[in-house]
Structure 1
Amino acid sequence: MALPKLSVLDLSIVGRGSTPALALESSRRLAQEAERLGFTRYWVAEHHNMPGIASSSPPVLIAHLAAHTTTLRLGSGGVMLPNHSPLVVAEQFGMLEALHPGRIDLGLGRAPGTDGLTAAALRRTNRFDAEEEFPRQLGELLAYFNGTFPDDHPFKAIHATPGRGYQPDVWLLGSSLYSAQLAGLLGLPFSFAHHFSGENTEAAVAAYRQAFDPSGALDQPYVMLGVNVLCAPTLDEARYLSGPGKLAMARLRTGNPDVYPTAEEAANHVYSPQEEATARSWGRHHVIGPPEAVRSGLLDLAERTGADELMITTMTHGFDERVRSYRLVAEAMEMADAPA
């Protein structure tokens, strides 16, 4: 089979002993390295009230990364649309597209990207069902880009500037059949969160393809899977370096978010039964090991699902280990600009 395209998902990790400023600087350096290695795109994700993740404002970070790269596609993985006014999103990403034409992706999700209290602070409401309004919000957003509000729509007179005429590539993100089917019905590319919902991957991809209706954006389905990958020279080292990711997720899911722990801290941590169950579930679908094992795991995933593209996220405490992992993956997957 043909090798899938490879891309990068970055969360701007704030490690123990570091700062958000240093995490954002690391994102700039990693984006430049991803461009040099030949990765297709580089996305950043919206999260809030998480001390270990600094990418709370994707459009601001994307603008910074675009100013320091030249060819790499940049985007959101994603913007959580219920947190924002569609008009503001249209203006922000229309501006990015106007400044960096042909390089911007707008990946959209319907989850809050945070806990319920923080979602209420973001949305200025105590309603937690805003995700159910996602199709309406999405239609409104697209209408700001292309000027297709119906004549009787209350916002028809609004002209998003920049926005109208500067639509980036729009993707739907998801971890459920709902998002898969909606992406298919709208004829949009679909990115599935295999890295934290791997048990639903094949069903969601099938639902997307079954629902797909060609559009002006796509004439056939396009699937990208988010994959948690950690590549190191040996299996033992890869497992050791992956420990912080499991501990960070265990703490988050048990209501104790913190900065990203070191590998030593993770190795010495005594897990509670609840943390242990969370960590085990979190790592079930990750691809971890030396280059040959990672290559095999990625190719197997692509073959099983027919994915067109894999978006790799690598969660390590140290920046150097993260960059090394991406370099080893690039080499193992025979990317043109991988190091010899």
Structure 2
Amino acid sequence: MTLPLSILDLAPVVSGSSGVQALQNSLELARLADHLGYHRHWVAEHHNMAGVASSSPEILIAALARETRRIRVGSGGIMLPNHSPLKVAEQFKTLEALFPGRIDLGLGRAPGTDQRTALALRRIPERLGADDFPEQIEELLAFAGEGPFPSDRPFQGIQAYPADVPLPPIYLLGSSTYGARLAAELGRPYAFAYHFSPQALVPAMQTYHQHFQPSRHLQEPYGILTVAVICADSREEAEELALPLDLLRVRLSQGISKPFPTVEEARAYPYTERDRQLIQMYRHSLVLGSPQEVKAELLQLAEQVKARELILSTTVPGQKERLRSYQLIAEAFGLQGAKMAPEGQLHSPR
């Protein structure tokens, strides 16, 4: 069976560049992915992070879908506790109406930010500790006309419009057995964030497969693996491109929010022994190397946990190197259209 390859995009803001350029880079990446034959292009939701421009995925999804012809575009994901389920239903029904059959709704329960920013998003302090993600999904489906409202909710009769448009397919995201079990019980596809939580990979995917309940949406488990990847023409080049990611991990562990560092910044940083231990821990979940090395490791990971699809996230400071990484992987896996279009030909289809 062919293993679909997809993309997770954080719209990284590189040191010395801008958010405007980061978003334009995302549009360029989507056009290339569409051409190469990638299956999906998902956009993450993060807030109050200087190095990430994807704070409004629903808006970016519309722009990406407009710039492409074939590839599915969606959220990886919408962090549902940050939002009104009614508003999410309205947004994604509208996206589905504009780009029928090409939109995905990936849902997560983490805030995608720190707790203070989560409070600014949610405005209700009690919501910060609430674990009502299943109920929020139930509300979302009810607003969309795809199920009843929970009995304790006073929202009967409220509907998300346009009413004659279905919600796009829902995918549950997670990095632990919690999300895996919920996806299994609901009979939905499950995307595991290996780049966040490598130690939970096997138990989470086992939980999903063991507890999966067939539904009208999905008859068999559909496990997706999200992996951080850096592919280059040589392993030495890939190792160098990974240096900024090392510094990013260190800064995040210290609560420091800065644009994505350059290779030069990463080389000059005075790492402590604790920093190096942290880097080594995260490097275990980073797949990097030449095309054949990357392909072999990705296939091994997918086989280990019976993943049906891989979503790849390449975050490097140079746009040229980021596009090259995805191109080399597409060629290694033999994706249709993997012979890259001539330079300068990846324009908007409009």
Bucket of the pairwise TM-score, normalised by the shorter protein:
over 0.9
Task: Note the alpha carbon deviations across 1:22-42, whole angstroms, 9 max, x for none.
Answer: 000000000000000000000
State the alpha-carbon separation in 1 of the partners of residues 200 and 2 from structure 2: 23
**Cα shift at 1:149:** 2.3
Q: CA 1:336–1:150 in structure 2 vs 1: closer, same or farther (change >3 Å)?
A: closer
Instruction: Answer yes or no: is the 8 Å Cα contact 1:229–1:312 preserved in 2.
Output: yes
Instruction: Answer yes or no: is the 8 Å Cα contact 2:233–2:291 preserved in 1.
Output: yes
State the alpha-carbon separation in 1 of the partners of residues 242 and 203 from structure 2: 27
Q: Equivalences for 1:255-266 in 2 at 5 Å?
A: 255-266=255-266
**Cα shift at 1:276:** 2.4
Q: Equivalences for 1:191-340 in 2 at 5 Å?
A: 191-339=191-339
Q: CA 1:128–1:137 in structure 2 vs 1: closer, same or farther (change >3 Å)?
A: closer
Task: Note the alpha carbon deviations across 1:225-247, whole angstroms, 9 max, x for none.
Answer: 00011011111110100111121
Q: CA 1:150–1:262 in structure 2 vs 1: closer, same or farther (change >3 Å)?
A: closer
Aligned residues: 339
State the one-letter code of the partner of 2:226.
G
Instruction: Answer yes or no: is the 8 Å Cα contact 1:82–1:130 preserved in 2.
Output: no
State the alpha-carbon separation in 2 of the partners of residues 44 and 294 from structure 1: 23
State the one-letter code of the partner of 2:23.
L
State the alpha-carbon separation in 1 of the partners of residues 182 and 131 from structure 2: 12
> Is 1:102 the counterpart of 2:73 in the alignment?
no
State the alpha-carbon separation in 2 of the partners of residues 297 and 97 from structure 1: 35
State the one-letter code of the partner of 1:234.
S
Point out where structure 1 has 5 or more consecutive residues left out of the alignment: none
Please report the RMSD computed on the Cα atoms of aligned residues, expressed in angstroms.
Answer: 1.5
**Cα shift at 1:114:** 0.2
Task: Note the alpha carbon deviations across 1:13-69, whole angstroms, 9 max, x for none.
Answer: 000111001000000000000000000000000000100000001100000111111
Moved more, 60-69 or 141-150: 141-150
State the one-letter code of the partner of 2:41.
Y
Q: CA 1:163–1:88 in structure 2 vs 1: closer, same or farther (change >3 Å)?
A: farther
State the alpha-carbon separation in 1 of the partners of residues 195 and 254 from structure 2: 19
Task: Note the alpha carbon deviations across 1:242-263, whole angstroms, 9 max, x for none.
Answer: 1111211210121112100101
Instruction: Answer yes or no: is the 8 Å Cα contact 2:139–2:149 preserved in 1.
Output: no
Q: CA 1:237–1:147 in structure 2 vs 1: closer, same or farther (change >3 Å)?
A: closer
**Cα shift at 1:148:** 2.6
Q: CA 1:150–1:18 in structure 2 vs 1: closer, same or farther (change >3 Å)?
A: closer
Q: CA 1:295–1:261 in structure 2 vs 1: closer, same or farther (change >3 Å)?
A: same
2:242 partner SS: helix
Q: CA 1:257–1:242 in structure 2 vs 1: closer, same or farther (change >3 Å)?
A: same
Identity %: 48
Moved more, 174-183 or 207-216: 207-216
State the alpha-carbon separation in 1 of the partners of residues 112 and 150 from structure 2: 34
Moved more, 78-87 or 258-267: 258-267
Indicate the residue corresponding to 1:70 in structure 2.
69
Q: Equivalences for 1:82-97 in 2 at 5 Å?
A: 82-97=81-96
